[in-house]
């Protein structure tokens, strides 16, 4: 798999209260596998990132099985990382982002209890799967995110 590269353009700094979140932009453009990715962070997300003790890994997952599903996962740094060799980019200190394509071994929409086991799918051209945007929010329900094409 190609190595992910990173480029950052900052826009819309939050200077409210002069806190550490002043250095975390509301929007920025990153480069993942040579393609632009627009990152949008809510005020709550910027404040939460500024308070993190460990960097947050945000994983945009494309799930291939009977259907295709996309979701955003927020990985706990204390937990074992699936496919740790998969490259990612550092958006800025405290936030890493990566794209992971996974596949299930069987197609059983209603036949499994819990989450089906998945494995990383080799991708010949990962740039073709990079979304145009990623939005992250943090609030009373914790971390939430979405991405789109």
* CB atoms near residue 144 (< 10 Å): 15
Name which of 99, 70, 94 is nearest 1 in CA terms. Answer: 99
Enumerate residues 6+ apart whose C-beta is below 8 A from 117: 104, 105
pTM: 0.77
Question: Which one has a higher pLDDT value, 99 or 114?
Answer: 99
Residue 86 pLDDT: 84
Q: Which residues of 88-112 are buried (b: 16+ CB within 10 A; e: fewer)?
A: bbebbebbbbbbbbbebeeeeeeee
Q: How confident is the model at residue 68 (pLDDT cuts 50, 70, 90)?
A: confident
Backbone angles phi, psi at 144, to 5 degrees: -140, 150
Question: pLDDT tens for residues 24-37?
Answer: 989 999 999 999 99
- Which pairing describes strands 95-104 and 118-120: parallel, antiparallel, or unpaired? antiparallel
- The mean predicted confidence, pLDDT, of the chain is 82
Q: How far is CA 22 from CA 10, 27, 59, 80, 90, in A?
A: 12, 13, 24, 31, 18
Q: How confident is the model at residue 9 (pLDDT cuts 50, 70, 90)?
A: very low
Q: How confident is the model at residue 129 (pLDDT cuts 50, 70, 90)?
A: very high
């Amino acid at each position: 798999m190609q190595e992910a590269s990173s480029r950052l353009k900052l826009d819309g700094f939050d200077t409210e209260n002069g806190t550490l979140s002043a250095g975390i932009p509301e929007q920025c453009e990153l480069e993942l596998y040579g393609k632009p990715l627009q990152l949008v962070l809510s005020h709550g997300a910027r404040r939460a990132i500024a308070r993190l003790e460990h960097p947050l890994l945000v994983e945009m997952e494309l799930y291939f099985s009977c259907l295709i599903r996309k979701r955003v996962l927020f990985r706990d740094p204390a937990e074992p990382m699936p496919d740790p060799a998969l490259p990612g980019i550092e958006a800025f200190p405290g936030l890493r982002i990566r794209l992971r394509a996974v596949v299930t071994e069987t197609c059983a929409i209603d036949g499994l209890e819990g989450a089906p086991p998945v494995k990383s799918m080799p991708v010949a051209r990962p740039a073709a799967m990079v979304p145009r945007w990623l939005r992250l929010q943090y609030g009373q329900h914790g971390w939430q995110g979405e991405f789109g094409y």
